[in-house]
Amino acid sequence: MNQGGKIRVLVAKPGLDGHERGAQVVAYGLRDAGFEVIYTGLRQTAEQIVSTAIQEDVDVVGLSILSGAHLSLTRKVMDGLKAQGADDILVIVGGIIPDPDIQKLKDMGVGEVFVSGTPVSAIAQYIASAVSTRKNAG
């Protein structure tokens, strides 16, 4: 990591579900873990998320999804990042994700899936180590 560089994380809620609490808790928790968190709130389209991730040059995109549409929404974001040549950005997913879908998300290229009940500290730890591994590799 560059001297003085901060890990930048976009926390976004794609799709139509209106339950923002979880995303907010994660956003605040990640700030307290020392990350710079860009929070864009509810009802984001995949296109909005991709364009924000690129302009803000984030290291990580965190998607919070409780609507049940996690497979299609995540697919759209992954495809969008890829189309922009930005698939080096780490994507993680949180929310209500049934067990069988976790592997499906990872097969799409999602780095990790955090189901409800995960402490924010675990997410922060994962991000810190995954980003430093990626930066060293790159």
Q: How far is the CB of 59 from another protein (least distance, A)?
A: 9
Under rule CB under 8 A, residue 35 binds another protein: yes
Tokens standing for residue 77: 């974001």
Q: Which is nearer to another protein, 47 or 133 (CB)?
A: 47
Q: How far is the CB of 107 from another protein (least distance, A)?
A: 25
Restricted to residues 72-131, the positions that interact with another protein (CB under 8 A) are 84-86
Distances (CA, A) of 62 to 2, 45, 53, 102, 123: 22, 14, 10, 15, 10
Distance CA 124, CA 129 (A): 9
Q: Which is nearer to another protein, 45 or 118 (CB)?
A: 45
Distance CA 134, CA 136 (A): 5
Closest to 124 measured CA to CA, from 2, 21, 7: 7
Q: Which residues would be at the binding site for another protein (CB under 8 A)?
A: 2-6, 8, 27-28, 30-41, 44, 47-48, 51-52, 54-57, 84-86
